Amino acid sequence: MRLLIIIPCLNEEKNLGDVIRKIPKSIKGISEVKILVVDDGSTDGTANIARAFGVELVQNVYNMGLGVTFDKGLQYAIENDFDIMVNIDGDGQFASEDVVRLLEPIQNSEADFVTGSRFINKSYYPKMPLIKFWGNKMMTHLINKLVARKFYDVSCGFRAYSKEALLSLNLQGEFTYTQEAFLNLAFKRLKIKEVPIKVKYSADRRSRIAPNIFTYGLRSARIILRTYRDYKPLSFFAGIGDFFFLIALFFESILLFTYLTRGSFTPHIWSGFIGGIFLFVSIVFFVIGILADMNDRIRLNQEKILYYVRKQKINRKS
């Protein structure tokens, strides 16, 4: 099996060397270990560090976002017919030696997608700011609700993908990839496994992705909702329709109560008009949901076509 390890980077000249140096170069059951650094428009010496270690380097002409950077590594893995891909951050917070632990479930055919988990084992809980800890917990809770499965960490940047997962992934987000990839593979019913890992956090470390936890949360939530809308459109729009229907029901109940107690719609006839408006909006969202669900069948067929096109290209090369 051929393994590609991608390291998305943005201004990581201080830590990148250690990350590359500690990656195992010989792994049982792996015939080739190749390292690819994807530099997201760094302004420091990140690219020079990658060149000094002699690893493959892809550079964005400017900062395009973690989602785009990860997708470039993904396309490289597919086009060059790698059997497994691992992504690890270039900031040194993950132990490069743990690559072996992430590979085992895939090598043993127990999983298609393996993610490092910082929270599945309480003794491994990282020393991170409380707001980040609860932010991760809330994001995980949201993903669990959407996929109706139990996970502990959906935002970890240390993961392994089988060839099946690589061929199945189809990502759109520019800001980040972590939650979208989770949803994408979970909705496609691929086997997902979490492996407990220890993480090192530096007190003076500042996120390269977003200036603060609130910005990160809002932008990540937008990607999650878009992904859910695309894969579960009927549930998404029906949920909005239900919300407006409840409001309509509230105003119409005022009108009904007035009629039953006074024998007349006066003086709350206004509530009937407002309830009617919200009822109309509710129906509109239900109709949109039905149409979107029909369109979802087209998207599923397109993703199947993309899967087989990728597979055919690999077969031709081999």
Residue 238 has pLDDT above 90, yes or no: yes
Tokens of 181: 């990839």
In whole angstroms, give the CA distance from residue 272 to residue 310.
Answer: 56
Residue 137 has pLDDT above 80, yes or no: yes
Could you tell me which residues are beta bridge partners of residue 8? 38
Choosing among 3.40.50.1360, 3.40.50.300, 3.90.550.10, 3.30.460.10, the CATH entry for 2-230 is 3.90.550.10
pLDDT band (50, 70, 90) for residue 263: confident
Closest-CA residue to 15 (of 42, 2, 30):
42
Q: Residues near 133 by Cβ (< 8 Å), separated by ≥ 6?
A: 125
pLDDT of res. 224: 86
Say whether 14 sits in a helix, a strand or coil. Answer: coil
Closest-CA residue to 166 (of 306, 264, 46, 14):
306
pLDDT of res. 208: 60
User: Looking at residue 175, what DSSP letter applies?
Assistant: S
Contact 149, 187 (CB under 8 A): no
Average pLDDT over residues 244-266: 92
Share of the chain above pLDDT 90, in %: 63
Lowest mean pLDDT among 2-11, 31-40, 173-182, 268-277: 173-182
Q: What is the pLDDT of residues 69-93, one digit of tens each?
A: 999 999 999 999 999 999 999 999 9
Global confidence as pTM: 0.82
pLDDT of res. 318: 63
Average pLDDT over residues 232-260: 94
Lowest mean pLDDT among 18-22, 29-33, 121-125: 121-125
pLDDT of res. 113: 97
Q: Residues near 160 by Cβ (< 8 Å), separated by ≥ 6?
A: 84, 85, 86, 99, 102, 103, 105, 106, 113, 114, 115
pLDDT of res. 211: 61
Residue whose tokens read 């893995």: 77
Contact 29, 107 (CB under 8 A): yes
Cα 228 versus chain centre, distance: 11
Task: Kindly list the domain boundaries of the chain, sorted by start residue.
Answer: 2-230, 233-317
Tokens of 87: 């992504």
Tokens of 291: 């149409």
Q: What is the pLDDT of residues 187-219, one digit of tens each?
A: 999 999 999 998 887 766 666 665 667 777 788
